[in-house]
Structure 1
Amino acid sequence: MQEKDTSSGIGYILAICLVAALGGILFGYDTAVISGAIDGITRHFDLSPTLKGWAVSSVVIGSIAGALGAGWLANVLGRRMTMMTAAVLFLISAIGSALAPNFVLYILLRLVGGVAVGIASVVSPMYMGELAPQHWRGRTLSMFQQSLVVGQTIVFFVNYFIARDAAEAWLTDYGWRWMLGSEAIPAVLFGLLLLLVPESPRWCIMRGQYDRARKILKRFTPSDQIEPMVEDVRNSLDSGNATGRRAMNRQRRDERRGSRSELRRPIMMGIALVGIFLSAAQQFSGVNVVMYYAPTVLSGVTDSTDSALLQTGFIGIVFIFGNLAGMYMIDRMGRIKLLTVGSLACIASMVTLGAIFWFDVQGYTAMFAIMVYVVGYAISWGCCSWTLLSEIFPNSIRGSGMAMAMGAQWTAGFIVAQTFPMMRGSEWLNAIFNGAFPFWLFGAITLVSLLLVWRFVPETKGIPLEGMESLMREKFKRGRVKQRDAYREADSATA
């Protein structure tokens, strides 16, 4: 009977996580829709190259603000209500930017969409991580990355079908508006389905709503495990706070101040820095070059806008299959091993892509290199980094830690989105590297990031969320011990 209940519980959790993953679909949809719309927007508003870059990257600025405020919102409103807030903002942005009569209003409404993206990027995986059982957590959390890529792929094909056989004048006046406005459909669906899912039981416990948490847990947890789970979360909150249970009783009054106080502890600051690094490295690997500028990169091997958009859609399909492979392997291989394999594929692909431009190689070799890159990224910085970010933060700083990490991610994303066309258009860099520089730069950054992962990021496979602080402490401690032993060996050799 318990086995049956457990099976039913897993199905219920997966259904809940699929609803939360719609936040990832909207995340991907909102950030990738611009790849097909940007040329029409540029012509319609007669934008300079600088303003064209701002039309693309403005959503990232909004995402930074949304990510930084998402942790506080998730703690005050709850995970579910915060996701519903994001759904409303997605809807406002989709309809408003599609109808924008001028460029200023377009930018303001894209910033609103960016705020929604930032909130979804923090709260959806946080919510999924808090509900998923530890032996399914890697695959469940990988659903968020998969949903992000599904959203991007859907909009690639939506853009293609809107632009197919359309006159340039129609695309300039109306086509881009239909592309942006199409996001209203998944936004409404997300908001409606959120009415059917429960609040995170961990959030309920943090707020002292123990009966509500028990009632939610009964729907997917064996009855003999409910009280131990409640106590584990309560104990983790107590042990994560220097003033113990007394600080827990002050939580509602001192929520913001308490989170900041926790982050002053060296171990918590170390964990926060690891989260910030993982989140920023995900963007500095160059993924936004593929998501925002793939049609630009592929322009040398296509004969029309339609063809470039269609090939970008095929790249999205490859991305989906790469994510499926990552979801299958992450709880078998572990996070760090899979991150290593995928990162090496990303590095090789960026080196190859740079060589293609260096030697001016024609044909579809560039598209093949990009496809290898997206598979490597999907199984590594895609699946693994989202999973690690949802795991490593202790309960007491999860909201603020995820917010800082996502703020760093979107800051890095803005830098990449804004600087890539500048590097591609630099006469000085092109004279030296013939267009290869940005790709080799991203390859080098990915290599450095992988070395830092080996040093500072522990394997989290099979570790309960309540045990992450101890695991991170042990990882940092082992590094200090090795460093101390090296100094001792050096002193002995000198003596």
Structure 2
Amino acid sequence: MSYQRKRNTGYIMKICGVAALGGLLFGYDTAVISGAIESLKAYFNLSPAETGWAVSNVVIGCVVGAFAAGPLAGRYGRKKALMLAALLFTVSAVGSSLAPTFTWFVIYRIIGGLAVGIAATVSPMYMSEVSPKDMRGRALSMQQFAIVFGQIVIFYVNFKIASIASEAWLVEMGWRWMFASGVLPCILFCILVFIIPESPRWSVMVGRDDQALAMLTRVSNAEHAKNVLREIKDSIRQDQQSSKQKLSYADKRVRFILFVGCMIAILQQVTGVNVMMYYAPVVLKTVTENAQEALFQTIWIGVMQLVGSVIGAMLMDRMGRIPLMRWGTLGVIVGLLITSYALYTEATGYFALFGMLFFMVFFALSWGVGAWVLVSEIFPNRMRSQGMSIAVGCMWLANFVVSQTFPMLNDNPYLFSQFHGAFPMWIFAACCLFSYWFVSRYIPETRGVSLEKMEDVVMAKRYRLPLSETQPVPLQDGKP
């Protein structure tokens, strides 16, 4: 017998890597503000509320972009949606670096937010649809790698710009160079996105079976490609019949799956991760000698997040999603408590940094990797683009609330005088306790489950049924 490869792993990782460039720019675009915020505050003479707006305005664009991504990816395809994101990233990088006023700065940052919202939704959606089920966790982990790598790069760029310039130059011009540095990866994404094929599942949904079969054959082999194509078509046909024949039952299932997907996205944000990313220099400046040292320490936060992402990617398809999420959540709580203790006692040195690094490792290996994997695979075919769009939109709404309120809490004279910056960390720790319970109660183990059979597994977890992925949810009087 002639050998037929099970899959073309190299090709899968290459096209997923190109899609993950959207994640790299996501990380780059959202984290650049961490090094620029103090200079922006001085240049535009911002109040605490305006400082929060300078950081969180990008999230408004992210929310709109995420909600628009589903219809865009559904109507025009995943590839064209990524092309649009690449163009918007470029416009934002150029415009925000040249902004003459705070209003124009906000406008261009919101445009960048549109790009982030689209890329954050479509990139993992695309990767989940082109990856075989037994390597889906590894492929989707590339999204988190890319986000973290983008953050590390801009943390380093910010530090190098700050290390060679005077404080006055940073206020006048340095922050502009920080934003302008994003132009190069934007151009790279614009070029490479043209080489990837369209998602086979979207191709089938719009009647392009030949195009889907060609792509699936390149991923694996001719026989396996035909079987996968048949599964996709059967799944789409069943979804269409379910929508017509069992509308009320289908709606209840859809509502629950959407609820779970949105909660995963929201809970990722209320861990406090973006306070660690966006405001790390602000948090650390109270326990470091100067702003430059705080910027340098921020680089290590990104590095440890990358380490945690590598560990998460290695364990996601071996250990399973849920055990990793639970243990990671406990580690996140410990990290928050260490950080809050250092802030509360005003301990100088590296104690606060150690707590933040501990937090980032456990966040990255659990919520960092796991949330994107789960949100990308938990929705059935008929609602994946819309479901991911709504879930990621909710993620950015939660991001906005956290980013906008943190400086207002942190700079509150009474809270700061009493708790020295520890109070927000305690709020995040309480949110993480709730997250642990939610993961244990409502999120099913999705390792090794095909996308076409995901719906039954989710519903089985909802009703605590001992159900394998191949069994349909039983009906009694039209209800599971």
For residues 388 and 226 of structure 2, the distance between their equivalents in structure 1, rounded to whole angstroms, comes to 27
Superposed CA deviations along residues 308-351 of structure 1, whole A, max 9, x for unmatched, are 11110111111111110111111110000000111100011111
Paired position in structure 2 for 1:145: 144
Asked if the contact 1:241/1:262 (under 8 Å) is kept, the reply is: no
Q: CA deviation at 1:479?
A: 6.9
Q: CA deviation at 1:49?
A: 2.1
For residues 469 and 291 of structure 1, the distance between their equivalents in structure 2, rounded to whole angstroms, comes to 34
Q: Aligned pair in 2 of structure 1 residues 3, 441: CA closer, same or farther (>3 Å)?
A: farther
- Give the aligned CA root-mean-square deviation in angstroms: 1.8
Q: Aligned pair in 2 of structure 1 residues 285, 208: CA closer, same or farther (>3 Å)?
A: same
Matches within 5 A, 1:202-241: 202-241=201-240
Instruction: Please say if 1:437 is aligned against 2:437.
Output: no
Deviates more, 1:207-216 or 1:301-310: 301-310
Instruction: Please say if 1:292 is aligned against 2:278.
Output: yes
Amino acid at match of 2:53: W
Asked if the contact 1:263/1:397 (under 8 Å) is kept, the reply is: no
Asked if the contact 2:339/2:353 (under 8 Å) is kept, the reply is: no
Moved over 4 A (4+): 1-4, 261-264
SS in 2 for 1:195: helix
Paired position in structure 2 for 1:76: 75
Matches within 5 A, 1:206-355: 206-242=205-241, 265-355=251-341
Q: CA deviation at 1:242?
A: 4.1
- Structure-2-length-normalised TM-score: 0.94
Paired position in structure 1 for 2:174: 175
Paired position in structure 2 for 1:6: 6
Give the alignment partner of residue 473 of structure 1, picking from 453, 456, 459: 459
Q: CA deviation at 1:381?
A: 0.5
Q: CA deviation at 1:50?
A: 1.8
For residues 152 and 233 of structure 1, the distance between their equivalents in structure 2, rounded to whole angstroms, comes to 36
Paired position in structure 1 for 2:389: 403
For residues 184 and 6 of structure 1, the distance between their equivalents in structure 2, rounded to whole angstroms, comes to 39
SS in 2 for 1:397: helix
Instruction: Please say if 1:387 is aligned against 2:373.
Output: yes
SS in 2 for 1:33: helix
Aligned residues: 466
Q: Aligned pair in 2 of structure 1 residues 289, 2: CA closer, same or farther (>3 Å)?
A: farther
Asked if the contact 2:89/2:115 (under 8 Å) is kept, the reply is: yes
Superposed CA deviations along residues 146-186 of structure 1, whole A, max 9, x for unmatched, are 11010011000011111113012211121111110111111
Superposed CA deviations along residues 184-213 of structure 1, whole A, max 9, x for unmatched, are 111110110111110111110011110111
Q: Aligned pair in 2 of structure 1 residues 2, 114: CA closer, same or farther (>3 Å)?
A: farther
For residues 236 and 325 of structure 2, the distance between their equivalents in structure 1, rounded to whole angstroms, comes to 30
For residues 23 and 206 of structure 2, the distance between their equivalents in structure 1, rounded to whole angstroms, comes to 26
For residues 414 and 177 of structure 2, the distance between their equivalents in structure 1, rounded to whole angstroms, comes to 39
Q: Aligned pair in 2 of structure 1 residues 243, 136: CA closer, same or farther (>3 Å)?
A: closer
Q: CA deviation at 1:301?
A: 3.0
Paired position in structure 2 for 1:17: 16
For residues 83 and 408 of structure 1, the distance between their equivalents in structure 2, rounded to whole angstroms, comes to 20
Q: Aligned pair in 2 of structure 1 residues 51, 4: CA closer, same or farther (>3 Å)?
A: same
For residues 96 and 280 of structure 1, the distance between their equivalents in structure 2, rounded to whole angstroms, comes to 30
For residues 102 and 412 of structure 2, the distance between their equivalents in structure 1, rounded to whole angstroms, comes to 26
Amino acid at match of 1:138: G
Amino acid at match of 1:366: A
For residues 417 and 189 of structure 2, the distance between their equivalents in structure 1, rounded to whole angstroms, comes to 48
Q: CA deviation at 1:3?
A: 5.3
Give the alignment partner of residue 356 of structure 2, picking from 348, 367, 370: 370
Q: Aligned pair in 2 of structure 1 residues 479, 285: CA closer, same or farther (>3 Å)?
A: farther
Instruction: Please say if 1:459 is aligned against 2:445.
Output: yes
For residues 138 and 346 of structure 1, the distance between their equivalents in structure 2, rounded to whole angstroms, comes to 21
Q: CA deviation at 1:241?
A: 2.9
Amino acid at match of 2:398: A
Q: Aligned pair in 2 of structure 1 residues 360, 479: CA closer, same or farther (>3 Å)?
A: farther
Asked if the contact 2:56/2:404 (under 8 Å) is kept, the reply is: yes
Q: Aligned pair in 2 of structure 1 residues 350, 262: CA closer, same or farther (>3 Å)?
A: farther
Q: Aligned pair in 2 of structure 1 residues 243, 129: CA closer, same or farther (>3 Å)?
A: closer
Q: CA deviation at 1:215?
A: 1.4
- Structure-1-length-normalised TM-score: 0.91
Q: Aligned pair in 2 of structure 1 residues 306, 3: CA closer, same or farther (>3 Å)?
A: farther
Paired position in structure 1 for 2:36: 37
Asked if the contact 1:263/1:269 (under 8 Å) is kept, the reply is: no
For residues 215 and 301 of structure 1, the distance between their equivalents in structure 2, rounded to whole angstroms, comes to 57
Q: Aligned pair in 2 of structure 1 residues 138, 55: CA closer, same or farther (>3 Å)?
A: same
Asked if the contact 2:324/2:365 (under 8 Å) is kept, the reply is: yes
Q: CA deviation at 1:306?
A: 1.9
Q: CA deviation at 1:423?
A: 1.2
Unmatched tracts of structure 1, length 5 or more: 248-260, 482-495
Paired position in structure 2 for 1:252: none
Paired position in structure 1 for 2:435: 449
Amino acid at match of 2:182: E
For residues 69 and 116 of structure 2, the distance between their equivalents in structure 1, rounded to whole angstroms, comes to 10
Asked if the contact 2:288/2:348 (under 8 Å) is kept, the reply is: no
Q: Aligned pair in 2 of structure 1 residues 293, 262: CA closer, same or farther (>3 Å)?
A: farther
For residues 3 and 471 of structure 1, the distance between their equivalents in structure 2, rounded to whole angstroms, comes to 34
Give the alignment partner of residue 416 of structure 1, picking from 402, 406, 427: 402
Asked if the contact 2:32/2:178 (under 8 Å) is kept, the reply is: yes
Superposed CA deviations along residues 357-381 of structure 1, whole A, max 9, x for unmatched, are 2222222100001000000000110
Amino acid at match of 2:5: D
Unmatched tracts of structure 2, length 5 or more: 468-480
Q: CA deviation at 1:480?
A: 12
Amino acid at match of 1:71: G
Q: CA deviation at 1:13?
A: 0.4
Paired position in structure 1 for 2:475: none
SS in 1 for 2:285: helix
Amino acid at match of 2:330: L
Amino acid at match of 2:200: P
Asked if the contact 2:60/2:113 (under 8 Å) is kept, the reply is: yes
Percent of counterpart pairs with the same letter?
45
